[in-house]
Amino acid sequence: MSQGSHQLKIRSIRAEQTLPLRQQVLWPDMPVSSSVLPDDHAALHLGGYWDEQLVCVASVFDDKGARLRKFATHPDFQGRGIGSAMLTHIIATLNQQGASRFWCDARLSAQTLYQKFELQPYGEPFVKQGVMFIRMQRFL
């Protein structure tokens, strides 16, 4: 993805590289350590770089299908299609790997974004740490 002379590059990163952005975007009132997940060592972690600055992170876990967790785009870079580019990349990767299901616990505020990628809500909305979520999935 490029805009003018800028270009987004998506590449694999280490789990610890995701932590500052996870914390800043998703749980800013909590310590960085609260963004560590027990299975981080086993997940695929992707970073979206804008002019070599890490501006988007996503982690995909093997959990009853491919589960997206801790998907975050820096506030200064939201609304530029970076999250959409990341989701496109993830879905293409999962298709190549033969995954059958892609799912996540989506914040209600992000539900529309996921629906653009054919994820459909299922189950009832729920609250996690004061934030409303809905489970969403797509069969690949």
- The reply to whether 76 falls in a domain is yes
Residue with tokens 């892609």: 102
On the question of pLDDT at 7 being above 70, the answer is: yes
The pLDDT of 83-110, averaged and rounded, is 96
pTM score, whole prediction? 0.93
- The reply to whether 136 falls in a domain is no
On the question of pLDDT at 2 being above 60, the answer is: no
CA distances from 99 to 61, 66, 113 (A): 12, 7, 21
Residue with tokens 């280490």: 14
- The total of structural domains in the chain comes to 1
Rounded Cα gap, residues 10 and 121, in angstroms = 27
Phi-psi region of 20 (alpha: psi -120 to 50; beta: other; left: phi over 0): alpha
- The reply to whether 37 falls in a domain is yes
pLDDT digits (tens, 9 = 90+) for 37-89: 999 999 999 999 999 999 999 999 999 899 999 999 999 999 999 999 999 99
Rounded Cα gap, residues 9 and 79, in angstroms = 17
- CATH number of the CATH domain containing 20: 3.40.630.30
- The reply to whether 35 falls in a domain is yes
- The reply to whether 133 falls in a domain is no
Rounded Cα gap, residues 35 and 27, in angstroms = 8
- The reply to whether 138 falls in a domain is no
- The reply to whether 128 falls in a domain is no
List the domain range (segments joined by +) for residue 64. 2-100
Query: CB of 48 within 8 A of CB of 9?
Result: yes
Phi-psi region of 35 (alpha: psi -120 to 50; beta: other; left: phi over 0): alpha
- The reply to whether 28 falls in a domain is yes
CA distances from 55 to 16, 77, 84, 106, 140 (A): 15, 7, 13, 19, 27
